């Protein structure tokens, strides 16, 4: 077994052996699916009250992902906790004493956490979609309709990326308090404002979550962005890569 495989195994043991993993990821799934279902149910019952132009541009796929705006916060919590717990408990010193190759340590953690959130993200996205469409009934769409599968798969990737963005940022900040205090309000509120208010939209729409969500929209007018769905996701990938690289350089340079 190679050295990196061993470190991967060790990181997997770390992730699966703390309770926060289960409750953050379960919350992400349940909140995203539950809230999405609620909104789909309400929408279905009030569909006839909508104006005809609203009905024409109605995005059934995107509506079923409405819970992810809140559910992603639990994904962020997962990302923050798996990194900050190393620092707040002092475990990082044991970890780096055991694996002094800091790159191997960080990228193993990223790979394990990334694989896990991708699986959970996909399950979340597919569940939210199918449950939402069932509740929307005749207003819903099928997975085979144009652009829908891309949106659902994209939704799963989105959830994984937001968690990994948090991982990168927390490797930079180290403190759980600081990471939560910055990431939570930012993704709950600030970026939504920056990405949608006219004055700041030009720049704000390139923020990671604002760009990433475009992949989940099927009707182009839903978000009205100057880039396409995959480009949007790619912008988010770039943000996440940048955050992880920043985390890597901080880990490499600073004393543990």
Partner 1 sequence: MIELRDLTKRYGDKLAVDGLSFTVRPGTVTGFLGPNGAGKSTTMRMVLGLDEPTRGDVRIEGKRYAELREPLHSIGALLEAKGVHGGRRAHDHLLCLAQSNGIPERRVGEALEMVGLQDVARKRPKGFSLGMGQRLGIAAALLGDPRILMFDEPVNGLDPEGIHWIRTLMQQLAREGRTVFVSSHLMSEMAQTAEHLVVIGQGKLLADTSMSQFIAENSRTHVRVRTPEPERMRDLLTEAGLRPVPGAEGALEVDDGDAPRIGELAAAHGVVLHELSTQRASLEEAFMRLTAQSVEYHAAAPGGTHAPPVPQEGTAPHPGGPQSPPGAAQPPPAWGEDWQDRKGRRG
Question: In this chain, which of 55, 57, 93, 200 binds partner 1, going by CB under 8 A?
Answer: 93
Question: In this chain, which of 54, 56, 100, 196 binds partner 1, going by CB under 8 A?
Answer: 100
Burial 86-107 (b: 16+ CB within 10 A, else e): bbeeeebeebeeebeeeeebbb
Place of tokens 């394990």: 112
CB of 42 or CB of 91, closer to partner 1: 91
The CB-of-20 to partner 1 minimum distance in angstroms stands at: 7
According to the binding rule CB under 8 A, does residue 85 interact with partner 1?
A: yes
CA 145 to CA 142: how far, in whole Å?
5
According to the binding rule CB under 8 A, does residue 201 interact with partner 1?
A: no
CA geometry: angle 142, 139, 219, nearest 5 deg: 70
Of 21, 221, 61, the closest CA to residue 149 belongs to 61
According to the binding rule CB under 8 A, does residue 242 interact with partner 1?
A: no
CB of 80 or CB of 235, closer to partner 1: 80
According to the binding rule CB under 8 A, does residue 22 interact with partner 1?
A: no
The CB-of-79 to partner 1 minimum distance in angstroms stands at: 17
CA 20 to CA 94: how far, in whole Å?
20
Per the document, the length of the chain is 256
- Contact segment (CB under 8 A) with partner 1 among 1-9, 63-71, 112-120, 235-243 equals 1-9
- At residue 124, the 3 state secondary structure works out as helix
> Total residues at the site for partner 1 (CB under 8 A)?
29
Whether the Cβ atoms of residue 120 and residue 174 lie closer than 8 Å to each other: no
According to the binding rule CB under 8 A, does residue 14 interact with partner 1?
A: yes
The CB-of-93 to partner 1 minimum distance in angstroms stands at: 5
- Contact segment (CB under 8 A) with partner 1 among 6-14, 116-124, 176-184, 190-198 equals 6-14
- Contact segment (CB under 8 A) with partner 1 among 38-46, 83-91, 125-133, 154-162 equals 83-91
CA 124 to CA 64: how far, in whole Å?
11
Whether the Cβ atoms of residue 160 and residue 115 lie closer than 8 Å to each other: no
Q: For residue 206, which phi and psi values (nearest 5 degrees)?
A: -95, 5
Place of tokens 């182009």: 220
- Here the tokens at position 97 are 């004493």
Chain Cα centroid distance, residue 234: 14
According to the binding rule CB under 8 A, does residue 101 interact with partner 1?
A: yes
According to the binding rule CB under 8 A, does residue 26 interact with partner 1?
A: no
- Contact segment (CB under 8 A) with partner 1 among 44-52, 86-94, 112-120, 236-244 equals 86-94
- Contact segment (CB under 8 A) with partner 1 among 45-53, 96-104, 181-189, 195-203 equals 96-104
By CB under 8 A, name the binding residues for partner 1.
1, 3, 6-7, 9-11, 13-14, 17-20, 85, 89-101, 255-256
């Amino acid at each position: 077994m190679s050295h990196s495989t061993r470190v991967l195994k060790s990181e997997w043991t770390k992730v699966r052996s703390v309770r926060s993993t289960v409750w953050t990821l379960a919350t992400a799934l349940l909140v995203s699916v539950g809230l999405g279902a609620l909104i789909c149910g309400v929408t279905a019952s009030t569909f006839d009250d909508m104006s005809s132009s609203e009905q024409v541009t109605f995005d059934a796929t995107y509506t079923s992902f409405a819970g992810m705006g809140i559910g992603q916060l639990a994904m962020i919590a997962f990302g923050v906790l798996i990194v900050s717990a190393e620092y707040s408990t002092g475990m990082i010193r044991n970890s780096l004493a055991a694996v002094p190759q800091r790159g191997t340590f960080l990228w193993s953690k990223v790979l394990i956490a990334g694989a896990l959130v991708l699986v959970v993200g996909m399950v979340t996205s597919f569940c939210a979609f199918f449950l939402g469409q069932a509740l929307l009934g005749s207003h819903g769409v099928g997975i085979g309709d144009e652009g829908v599968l891309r949106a659902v798969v994209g939704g799963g990737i989105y959830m994984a990326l937001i968690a990994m963005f948090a991982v990168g940022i927390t490797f930079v900040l180290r403190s759980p308090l600081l990471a939560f205090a910055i990431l939570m309000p930012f993704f709950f509120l600030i970026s939504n404002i920056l990405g949608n208010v006219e004055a700041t939209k030009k720049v704000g729409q390139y923020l990671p979550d604002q760009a990433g969500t475009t992949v989940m929209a099927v009707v182009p007018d839903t978000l009205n962005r100057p880039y396409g769905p995959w480009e949007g996701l790619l912008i988010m990938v770039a943000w996440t890569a940048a955050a992880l690289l920043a985390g890597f350089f901080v880990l490499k340079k600073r004393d543990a």
